[in-house]
């Protein structure tokens, strides 16, 4: 799981953790302190493409954090985030649109079984 928040000083704070399958939301809660989200100037999320569970959990978390804390939300594809410095520069220049909701993009159909 990778989470990026935009602190006020023009830097991107990127957090990365190895997450067991199905534990993304619980892991997110352990390392995203409310005071850090409150101080952030926005929330960025990679919408995909990616695996069903990972993308769904990450996008859900970003949409939720942005909505609950009233932060601007920015969605990117995995190709756009290959270099976070480019993302930072685009955000600083104001060339990335704020979106009300980011939809997940999957690279395959979900494999859901009973």
pTM reported for the whole predicted model: 0.74
CB 6 within 8 A of CB 66: no
> What is the 8-class DSSP label of residue 13?
E
Q: What pLDDT, on the 0 to 100 scale, is given for residue 83?
A: 87
CA distance 95 to 42: 14
Beta bridge partners of 4: 14, 44
CA distance 68 to 49: 25
Per-residue model confidence as pLDDT tens for the chain (114 residues): 555 555 555 666 666 666 666 666 666 666 677 877 888 888 889 898 887 777 888 888 889 889 999 999 999 998 898 888 888 889 889 999 999 999 999 887 766 666
């Amino acid at each position: 799981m990778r989470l990026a928040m935009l602190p006020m000083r023009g830097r991107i704070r990127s957090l990365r953790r190895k997450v067991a399958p199905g534990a993304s939301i619980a892991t997110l809660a352990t390392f995203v302190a409310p005071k850090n989200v409150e101080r952030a100037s926005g929330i960025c999320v990679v919408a995909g493409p990616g695996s069903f569970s990972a993308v769904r959990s990450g996008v859900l978390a970003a949409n939720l954090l942005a909505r609950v804390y009233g932060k601007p939300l920015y969605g990117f594809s995995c190709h756009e985030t290959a270099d976070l410095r480019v993302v930072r520069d685009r955000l600083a220049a104001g060339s990335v649109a704020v979106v009300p909701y980011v939809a997940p993009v999957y690279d395959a159909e979900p494999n859901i079984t009973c």
